[in-house]
Amino acid sequence: MMKVQLYNTASRSVEEFAPIHPPEARIYSCGMTVYSFAHIGHLKTYIASDILRRTLEFAGYEVRHVMNVTDVGHMTSDEDEGDDKMDVGAKKEGLSPWELARKYEEHFFNTIREVNIIRPQVICRATEHIQEQIELIQRLEKNGFTYITPAGVVFDSNKFDRYADFARLQLDGNIENFRTAADPDRKSPQDFSLWVLNKPNHVMQWDSPWGRGYPGWHIECSAMAMRYLGEELDIHTGGIDHIPVHHTNEIAQSECATGKTFARFWVHSAFLNVDGTKMSKSLGNLYTLDDCRAKGFTPLALRYFFLQSSYRKPINFTWDALEAAQTALAKIWEFCSELPAPSVEPLEDYLSEFRAALYDDLNTSAALAVVHKLIKSDADPAAKARTLFKMDDVLALDLATSRTRLNDLRTMRGATQDSEQKALELAQQRQELRKQKNFAEADRLRGEIEALGFTVMDTPAGPQVKPLG
Ligand code: AMP
Ligand code: ZN
């Protein structure tokens, strides 16, 4: 059997995947912090873990996939500084942190379903696993890896001599700009909270052996991963931003509690940037799947867009690039919608080339190249259909329902053109209102135009509209 090769952050090299309990492959994915909408950067990372899962299943493994929901304890910095993101978000929206968490959790799972991400078998919320977290902290306490300050129970990183290894940290006082938490009672800047005390304004609080408080963000992932997958995972996934702090801390606390290697493989996806800069709310370049749809893109165009490059490469997002991805996907759908009923047997040579691409550290762009080669080939159309639909077990581009997908896309595109026409009419009315100095009404119309997903540009030739963003 051909073996799956994966890049392992722990060794900084590509290694052959071999699970601890074959044929089962146990994967833990760090989930969303549910204080706001999931954006398309999140989707890059979760599509990567979905491709990993589907590839392992394609290779015959039985995947057990666990994903947490961070609904407490993730501070506004990835260290312990600032406030809990849940508290900040809840105040802003006039909701309780619990209501906020449910709202964005639901949005997240609806979003990932639309890009055909298979829902992990276990979804676990941090707030529903407080006892497991307390027990893990107690194990660490018993093993001598903690100390207590007025701020809470802290992990003593100096007691774990491999602390810096995973992220190749230079702990010589030159710790980049991460670990700035200025808690005067900490022995070292990289020590981190396991249980937070004395935060009376924090809404979510639980009793513990150390007093009322709440867990740190890192301990929740270790505790829930072990609860559902045991003390040794096959694969742990996340975005590369988690390497220096979150995953470093997960490894430290898990391995100091159990004495075992926490995860054999660490698979990290690189970031999605926008127009050459970091995607962020403050820069106004943070897009959700809903934004993409409002501009006439089908969710699967985004999936195709990500499949075009390696999960390990940072991607620069532009609307033009998404348009090109959608055009390419629509062509595949067009081709597939004309195919006859699939034959019984797939084309093994194409499948094995496809497999080789994916097993080479999830090389989805090479896998798509095989798809295009097959489409162009003069193979029997019924066999092509069978082979393409089989490949779609991993690609998940809805190839078997291409005709419906294409129709949906055309309907949506038509609707978007209607919106543009309507926005242009409103922009012309707005110009008249401005001439009449009725600025209040003109502003209201600008709001309506924006609600349609467009912005107005005043040009010498009159008002024009273009998609927002
Ligand atoms: P968070 O909710 O911030 O904990 O993020 C959830 C997951 O999405 C983590 O694995 C992050 O590394 C990942 N992530 C966040 N922003 C991006 C981005 N712009 N590109 C790719 N992955 C991201
Ligand atoms: Zn995590």
The better pLDDT of the pair 93, 338 is held by 338
Lowest mean pLDDT among 170-179, 236-245, 398-407: 170-179
33: Cβ below 6 Å to ligand 1? yes
152: Cβ below 6 Å to ligand 1? no
Rounded to whole angstroms, the Cα distance separating 418 from 412 reads 10
Supply the residue whose CA is at minimum distance from atom 18 of ligand 1. 41
- DSSP class of residue 9? T
- Name residue, tokens 């100390």: 147
What is the whole-number distance in angstroms between the Cα of residue 219 and the centre of ligand 2?
Answer: 8
Supply the residue whose CA is at minimum distance from atom 3 of ligand 1. 33
Tokens of 71: 């609904």
- Name residue, tokens 């290779």: 59
If residue 215 lies in a helix (H) or strand (E), which one and from where to where?
strand 213-215
User: Which domain-ending residue is among 269, 289, 314?
Assistant: 269
Query: What residue numbers bound the domain in which 458 lies?
Result: 414-467
- DSSP class of residue 172? S
Percentage helix, strand, coil for the chain under 3-state DSSP, each rounded to 5 = 45, 20, 35
Q: Is the pLDDT of residue 212 over 90?
A: yes
* Structural domain count, the chain: 2
Mean pLDDT within 424-430 = 92
- Of all residues in the chain, the percent with pLDDT exceeding 70 is 96
Atom of ligand 1 nearest to the CA of 38: 2
pLDDT at position 79: 67
Atom of ligand 1 nearest to the CA of 278: 19
If residue 62 lies in a helix (H) or strand (E), which one and from where to where?
strand 62-69
270: Cβ below 6 Å to ligand 1? no
The better pLDDT of the pair 190, 354 is held by 354
Give the model's confidence band at 178: pLDDT under 50 very low, under 70 low, under 90 confident, else very high: very low
Q: Is the pLDDT of residue 173 over 70?
A: no
Rounded to whole angstroms, the Cα distance separating 140 from 148 reads 12
Q: Please indicate, yes or no, if residue 91 is contained in any of the structural domains.
A: yes
CA angle 60, 62, 65 (to 5 degrees): 135
73: Cβ below 6 Å to ligand 1? no
Q: Please indicate, yes or no, if residue 233 is contained in any of the structural domains.
A: yes
Q: Quick check: 165 and 12 in contact, CB under 8 A?
A: no
Rounded to two decimals, the pTM is: 0.89
Tokens of 59: 């290779």
Supply the residue whose CA is at minimum distance from atom 11 of ligand 1. 239
Rounded to whole angstroms, the Cα distance separating 34 from 414 reads 34
Q: Please indicate, yes or no, if residue 115 is contained in any of the structural domains.
A: yes
243: Cβ below 6 Å to ligand 1? no
Residue 38 has, within 13 A of its CA and on its CB side, a CA count of 28
- Name residue, tokens 């047997």: 345
pLDDT at position 182: 54
pLDDT at position 1: 61
Q: Please indicate, yes or no, if residue 173 is contained in any of the structural domains.
A: yes
* SS3 category, 263: strand
382 phi/psi in degrees, rounded to 5: -70, -35
Q: How many CB atoms lie within 10 A of CB 169?
A: 19
Length of the chain (residues): 469
Contacts of 248 (CB under 8 A, 6+ apart): 163, 164, 166, 167, 169
CATH of the domain at 84: 3.40.50.620
What is the whole-number distance in angstroms between the Cα of residue 448 and the centre of ligand 1?
Answer: 32
Rounded to whole angstroms, the Cα distance separating 469 from 467 reads 7
Give the model's confidence band at 177: pLDDT under 50 very low, under 70 low, under 90 confident, else very high: very low
Q: Is the pLDDT of residue 175 over 50?
A: no
Rounded to whole angstroms, the Cα distance separating 23 from 333 reads 34
Nearest partner of 243 among 41, 9, 29, 49, judged by Cα: 9
Tokens of 456: 């107005």
pLDDT at position 464: 87
30: Cβ below 6 Å to ligand 1? yes
Q: Is 324 exposed, middle or buried (0-12, 13-18, 19+ CB in 10 A)?
A: middle
Q: Please indicate, yes or no, if residue 279 is contained in any of the structural domains.
A: no
User: Which domain-ending residue is among 269, 287, 305?
Assistant: 269
| Alpha-carbon 312 to chain mean position | 13
Q: Is the pLDDT of residue 5 over 60?
A: yes
Do the bridges between strand 315-317 and strand 454-459 make them parallel or antiparallel, or are there none, so unpaired?
unpaired
72: Cβ below 6 Å to ligand 1? no
The better pLDDT of the pair 324, 460 is held by 324
Mean pLDDT within 298-321 = 96
Q: Please indicate, yes or no, if residue 345 is contained in any of the structural domains.
A: no
Q: Please indicate, yes or no, if residue 422 is contained in any of the structural domains.
A: yes
User: Which domain-ending residue is among 269, 290, 305?
Assistant: 269
Q: Please indicate, yes or no, if residue 302 is contained in any of the structural domains.
A: no
What is the whole-number distance in angstroms between the Cα of residue 4 and the centre of ligand 2?
Answer: 24
